[in-house]
Structure formats: C-alpha cells, structure tokens
C-alpha cells in the first residue's frame, strides 16, 4: 500500500520558500494498493499532482472520501483531467449531517 500526501494546506493554496517543506496545496491524500482502485481523501488543489502521476491516457476509476464540503477540500476537482475523460467513474462520499448520515454519489 502506498499513501501519498499531495496537499496538506488549509483554506487557500500558497507558494513560497517558507512553506516548501510541507507544500502549498490544499488537502488531498491518495492510497493505492496493487490490483485495487485508488482511494482519495479530499479533493483539494493537490489533486492536480495526483493526476500528473497517472498515465496521460488513463481514465479515473476510484473512490473519493470527503471530510467535509468546504471549498478547500474540493477545489482541485475542476482541474482533475482524468475525471473528464470518457468512461471515468468515481464514487464520492461525505459525512454529511451531524446525525452520522452521509451522502454518496457515483458518476
């Protein structure tokens, strides 16, 4: 199993030498295991870097777990090119309300 932190920043992405050690992208973590679909935790601006690690013609099929629906946890989604390719599939889940229910969507 390989766990990669593509972004760990909160609120807004930033860039400077002061933050180079931890990076400037908002939340995105990928978990990959041989023979399994990828699991993504949050879809912040670090999602672009996850996309760059994929073959350029590969279609995304995987699961996305969102900690919550604030902009910094989903702002990488419009720039995630593998999801725009024909045949792409993702299941996204979010905790939802405080009563423990969650939302899930597959597309």
The residue ranking higher by pLDDT, 98 or 79, is 79
**What confidence category does residue 97 fall into, taking pLDDT thresholds of 50, 70 and 90?**
low
All residues at 6 or more sequence positions from 49 whose CB lies less than 8 Å from its CB, including other chains: 6, 7, 25, 28
pLDDT of amino acid 101: 55
Percentage of residues in the chain with pLDDT exceeding 70?
Answer: 86
Instruction: Note the pLDDT tens digit of each residue in 52-87.
Output: 988 888 888 899 999 888 888 999 999 998 888 888
Q: Which domains does the chain have, with CATH numbers?
A: 2-106 (3.60.15.10)
All residues at 6 or more sequence positions from 55 whose CB lies less than 8 Å from its CB, including other chains: none
Q: How many CB atoms lie within 10 A of CB 23?
A: 18
Tell me the whole-structure pTM to 2 decimals.
0.79
């Amino acid at each position: 199993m390989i766990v990669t932190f593509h972004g760990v920043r909160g609120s807004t992405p930033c860039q400077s030498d002061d933050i180079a050690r931890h990076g400037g992208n908002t939340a995105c973590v990928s978990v990959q295991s041989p023979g399994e679909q990828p699991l993504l935790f949050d879809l912040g601006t670090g999602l672009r870097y996850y996309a760059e690690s994929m073959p350029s013609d590969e279609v995304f099929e995987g699961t996305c777990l969102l900690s919550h629906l604030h902009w910094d946890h989903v702002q990488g989604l419009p720039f995630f090119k593998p999801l725009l390719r024909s045949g792409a599939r993702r299941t996204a889940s979010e905790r939802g309300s405080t009563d423990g229910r969650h939302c899930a969507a597959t597309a």
